Structure 1
Amino acid sequence: MSQWVVLVGRASDLDNGATPHKIMTSRDYLARPNLFRGQRPKIINLSRSYAYQSRGYYASLLAEARGHRIIPSVETMIDLSEKKLYENALPELDAALRKAIDKGERPASPIRIYFGYADDPRLERFAKLVFDWFRAPALEVHLDPHAEVPTIRRIAFAAIGKPGAPDTQRLLAAMERYTAREWRAAKSKTPAKYSFATLYDPKEELPPSSVDTLKHWARVAARLGVDVEPITRKDLPRLANFDALFIRETTSISNHTYRFARRAMQEGMPVIDDPISMIRCTNKVYLDELMTGNGVPTPPSVMVGGKEDLQRAADVLGFPMVLKIPDGSFSRGVKKVETAAQLTALATAWLEDTDLLIAQKFMPTNFDWRIGVLGGEPLFAVQYLMAKSHWQIINHETGGRPMEGGFKGFSLGDAPPQVLDAGLRAARCIGDGLYGVDLKETDDGVFVIEVNDNPNLEHGVEDSIEKDEVWTRLTRWFIDRIER
């Protein structure tokens, strides 16, 4: 477990009994680079100033160089130095502020936020959102006094008060809530060396991993000195309490999963899925261009940006063909069209919500290959069988719960070399994380259909042949990147 360290401007800035965490001055921290050698402390920088080239600034800068996790980061300091650097956050924050107040009395300005907490209970969600954007111990949100509706004029760091002052007491109380840790794992005779957060949604219909599967991983990880704790979307404020993040929800750059991944990257935590992989994998148009540019075989495709492209798609691909929404998942947003009339009707409807579609040649097979790749090396090989009386592995057109086909596991040594090679080449174009590469094996060769950034990992399915080696390698991947 990593320890918490609180940096202060002067030794007198906090009473010795104000917090159970280690207190030291930023001057001492800067002067003693070997103090935490071999450790990864979590540092809260309560320096009096974060101005460029101040001690507070250098403390955060050198913490990053030393591999320590610190708030606020230099990135946050720079973001808050000028309004134009954080203007992109204001529309969302203004909307959240107005919703919180809902025609009630305006809060006093500035609104002080300590570790995502505000005194006004109406502002609970707003304060957490501000802290989500700008992770700093103490913030001030200044409102425009002349605006008819509550509008943010400026966001800045709040000054740390004197010991015993009310603001300082609120700051310390919020800090203790922030650093508190809720343990759910089974008790062990020896404390865990690392703690991994696993983001999941207990209500998701088709999650990448079930709760029972995550419990199985936790048992395997415990043998390697790792505590695995499930978290949900409400736990973003305490993400920094962990050493790594494994996202087991369907990812999208437009929902909270991307924000979790981005936060983990800012904390210097290894994360699956990382935000870059999300961006690359969640868009089928991008994937098609990337694979083609790197010589990875893909089905013949045509980009559809308007009705004028439909005839070209028909001429190049013929019928039936497959039409795809760029950011669909779990076989959603993927339809087979049999005629020009069907193509026109479906493309017209979909182009109301997206500026670009991708049409691909239809390749009928009885199964799809899925090659799991972790850190650039194969992890598992499995065939997903088509759903009954359907051309995809998942049938969403049942009128009820989606119907899935069966599966057949293969040892990595028994998987066709050309399938493994294409899967590895495709995944390495994306990054160094965990990917599931879907491929079609046809008489004309092997073709990559897509690369999934959060592939299914279900106990008894993807690990049916390689067994616990899958989960052991996953755990060690995280540990290796923590210790680098």
Structure 2
Amino acid sequence: MASDHVIVVERLADFRWADAATRVVTAEAFISDCKTELEGRKRQRKVINLCRSYDYLSLGYYCSLLAEARGDRVTPTVETILDLEHRRTQQASVARLERLIPVLGTVPRSVNTLSFHVFFGHIEDPELANLARKAFELFRCPLLEITLERPEGLDGWKIAGVGALDPREVDASRDALFMGALEEFTRRRWRPALIQSAPRMDLAILHDPSDPLPPSNLATLQHIAEVAQSMDIAVELIRKKDYSRLTQFDALFIRETTAVAHHTFKFAKKAEAEGMPVIDDPASILRCTNKAFLAELLREHDIATPRTRLVSKRTMAKFEDTLSYPVVLKVPDGSFSRDVRKAQDFRQFQDIATAMFKESEIVLVQDYMYTAFDWRIGMLAGEPLFAARYHMVRDHWQIIKHVGGGASTEGRTEAVALPDVPPLVIETATQAARLIGDGFYGVDLKQTEAGVFVIEINDNPNLDVGAEDKVLGDEVYRRLLGHLLAKFEKRGAPIGRVLPIAIGSATRPAAILAAFNGASEEAGARTWNISTD
């Protein structure tokens, strides 16, 4: 299934910015095409509703309503339209926005009311940029008008109103801003161009260019995009600031260090709520990022791990005579060997644990197992994808050695063909990964004379060109991309919710009734509850 953008306006002249007739349609044409579109449309469209009004039962309202029923992704949604109409439901969102109102010290004291326009979260004034971005994130309306008022006797500002903006009210002097915002939102230039077939899937890859230890470096992400292009998949690298644009993509691949109290989890939750395939999903992040959960999960399923104890401030003293040193202490939600320390005796144990209790109420204590390398088995959808040996840093007991100033040193990565991996390592990794889900995981294991032990399961494992992919090459990326593509295409166009619709006798355009009649005849699986009160 492919995807495409459609802009809906009440009159074609309302969209004055470019000759884009192939993608700009009138509201009546959009509503009237219900019958032909429902007969066999395989393309899930992304609809931008720029009607003049979204009033209840207006053409703008029906465009969003019918788009949702057809399985299109529409901005704004009916829920957003209703939120904009009802001030009471806005209160929580308005309160969040008011915390972002700047001082606006350049505004004269004689001015008590201000209005400004926001296009897809963009505004020229950098002082209002955070407010504009958050407003679009909360209300998801393409064109917004925000009104501020200065309460009498107070220095600060309050939000007096947030509403949709008629596209005809976009001032010509702001055309460049509008077009730039539209192009960023759709990732397309709105100008005459040859019609090209849409990609099979639009994939967003979330990354952080400033991360010193990313799961994949920039060269790898660019290589993934090249492989994706050969598979007719469009890739865009996105960052934290692109949260409001997430729904314009078909799938999400997180290549940033994840945590539950972090924007990566927010992205994963949003993608899942929108029905988008996502690696990795919120449940996998939740399960993998907490070592306490993993330790208990593996123990419950009789999967061998180093002996693990959970320690709190109250229970720390009782471990004085029960531990065999050295031991390894871990903050449960640490990553990349951060917050992992080794204690040689009880005094060190106390000092390290006391420091860690400032971050977490619980600390993990595990028996120390020395091996020259850790096995890393990359798992995808419950099956082994690649294998590697992660060697310890020279003269250090970990595969990553953190030094001052945020710098680090990593041990050597040695890719290994899956048939050359000891069968028990593969079997143990597979059992462990399947407890988490069907995403993309990296299972770390130690192989000793006593057996194979799972150290942890990572939800966004390292994958870099020339390292983990050295045996399989591009096949690693094709399988990952194919996994997401299969999920996307298997999902198909959403059927949509059953929507109760009240149509008053004074608001029945012939095109709307014709559309409903067509839907009733051609799409018997859909139910329309129409009241003529």
Seen in structure 2, the aligned counterparts of structure 1 residues 136 and 358 have a Cα distance that, compared at 3 Å, is farther
1:207/1:79 Cα in 2 relative to 1: closer, same or farther (>3 Å)?
Answer: farther
TM-score, with normalisation over the residues of structure 2? 0.75
- What secondary structure does 1:227 align onto? strand
Select which of 121, 128, 131 maps to 2:133.
Answer: 128
Partner residue of 2:25 out of 13, 23, 26: 23
Match of 1:437 among 439, 443, 458: 443
CA distance in 2, matches of 1:357, 1:84: 45
- Shift of the 116–190 alpha-carbon distance from structure 1 to 2, 3 Å rule, reads closer
**Residue in structure 1 matched with residue 258 of structure 2 by the alignment:** 251
Partner of 2:358: 352
Tell me how far apart the structure 1 counterparts of residues 6 and 171 of structure 2 sit (CA, whole Å). Answer: 20
1:342 aligns with 2:344: no
What is the CA–CA distance in structure 2 between the aligned matches of 1:77 and 1:313, rounded to whole Å? 59
Cα distance in 2 for residues equivalent to 1:144 and 1:285: 50
Return the match for 1:211 from 200, 218, 232: 218
- Output the amino acid matched with 1:132: E
Instruction: Return the letter of the residue paired with 1:113.
Output: V
Which residue does the alignment assign to 1:186?
none
Q: Does 1:44 align with 2:33?
A: no
User: Match for residue 201 of structure 1?
Assistant: 208
**Is 1:165 aligned to 2:166, yes or no?**
no
The equivalent of 1:331 in structure 2 is 337
| Contact 1:300 1:317 (C-alpha < 8 Å) held by counterparts | no
| Residue pairs, 1:276-295, within 5 angstroms | 276-295=283-302
Instruction: Give CA-to-partner distance per residue, 1:40-96, whole Å, 9 cap, x none.
Output: 211124564486x99877865765565432223466568778889777766754433
Structure 2 CA distance for partners of 1:138 and 1:368, relative to 1, 3 Å: same
Give the distance between the partners of 1:467 and 1:127, measured in 2 at CA.
44
How far apart, CA to CA, are the structure 2 residues paired with 1:436 and 1:444? 22
**TM-score, with structure 1 as normaliser:** 0.82
* Cα deviations by residue, 1:5-56 (Å, 9 ceiling, x for unpaired): 2346xx45974756633324364366665167110211124564486x9987
- Judged with a 3 Å threshold, the aligned counterparts in structure 2 of structure 1 residues 326 and 400 are, in CA distance, closer, same or farther, namely closer
After the TM superposition, which residues 166-315 of structure 1 pair with which residues of structure 2 at under 5 Å, given as runs? Answer: 166=170, 176-181=182-187, 192-306=199-313, 308-315=314-321
User: Which 10-residue stretch deviates more, 25-34 or 129-138?
Assistant: 25-34
Q: Using a 3 Å threshold, how does the CA distance of structure 1 residues 300 and 142 change in structure 2: closer, same or farther?
A: farther
Q: Provide, for residues 355-378 of structure 1, a one-character-per-residue CA deviation record: whole Å limited to 9, x for no partner.
A: 222222222222111111112221
Distance of aligned partners of 1:89 and 1:411 in 2 relative to their CA distance in 1, 3 Å threshold: farther
CA separation in 1, counterparts of 2:452 and 2:92? 44
In the TM superposition, residue 224 of structure 1 has moved relative to its aligned partner by 1.4
What CA RMSD, in Å, does the superposition of the two structures yield over aligned residues? Answer: 3.8
Aligned counterpart for 1:321 among listed residues 316, 327, 338: 327
Once the two structures are TM-superposed, the CA of residue 348 in structure 1 deviates from its matched residue by: 1.6
Give the CA deviation at 1:346.
1.8
2:6 pairs with 1:5: yes
Q: Say whether 1:405 aligns with 2:407.
A: no
Retained in 2: the 8 A contact 1:301–1:317? no
| In structure 1, distance between residues paired with 2:115 and 2:40 | 37
Partners of 2:88 and 2:447 in 1: how far apart?
51
Whole-Å Cα distance in 2 between the matches of residues 46 and 344 of structure 1?
A: 62
C-alpha spacing 1:193/1:319, structure 2 compared with 1 (3 Å): same
Asked if the contact 1:296–1:426 (Cα under 8 Å) also holds between the matched residues in 2, the reply is yes
From the superposition, tell whether residues 36 and 202 of structure 1 become closer, same or farther in structure 2 (CA, over 3 Å): farther
Any idea what the Cα deviations from partners look like across 1:113-166, whole Å, max 9, x if unmatched?
33213465521122112222332224455657549464666875x2453x6334
1:425 aligns with 2:419: no
Structure 1's 286 and 92: CA in aligned 2 closer, same or farther, altered over 3 A? farther
State whether structure 2 residue 401 is matched by structure 1 residue 395: yes
Residue 159 and residue 72 in structure 1: after superposition, are their counterparts in 2 closer, same or farther (change >3 A)?
Answer: closer
> What's the offset of the Cα at 1:354?
2.5
Of 25-34 and 275-284, the range deviating more from structure 2: 25-34
| Partner SS for 2:168 | coil
Any idea what the Cα deviations from partners look like across 1:196-246, whole Å, max 9, x if unmatched? 333333333222112222232233222212233333344444444433332
8 Å contact from structure 2 (residues 12, 26) kept in 1: no
Q: Kindly tell me: are residues 355 and 195 of structure 1, through their superposed partners in 2, closer, same or farther at Cα, counting changes over 3 Å?
A: same
Higher relative contact order (CA 8 A, sep 6+): 2
Bigger Cα displacement from structure 2, 422-431 vs 335-344: 422-431
For residues 135 and 347 of structure 2, what CA distance do their matches in structure 1 show? 49
Please give the alpha-carbon distance, in whole angstroms, between the structure 2 residues aligned to 1:224 and 1:196. Answer: 12
Q: Could you tell me the percent identity over the aligned residues?
A: 41
Q: In terms of Rg, which structure is larger?
A: 2
CA distance in 2, matches of 1:260, 1:31: 35
Distance 2:221 2:238 in 1: 11
Aligned amino acid, residue 279 of structure 2 = I
Deviation track 1:407-455 (CA, whole Å, cap 9, x = no partner) reads 3322222322322222223222323221111122233332222221211
What SS is found at the alignment partner of 2:99?
helix
Larger deviation: 465-474 or 28-37? 28-37
Structure 2 counterpart of 1:427, one-letter code: A
Please say if residues 387 and 393 of structure 1, whose CA atoms lie closer than 8 Å, have aligned partners that are also in contact. Answer: yes
1:69 maps to 73
Question: 1:383 pairs with 361, 378, 389, which one?
Answer: 389
Question: Cα–Cα, structure 1 residues 228 and 302, in superposed 2: closer, same or farther, change >3 Å?
Answer: same
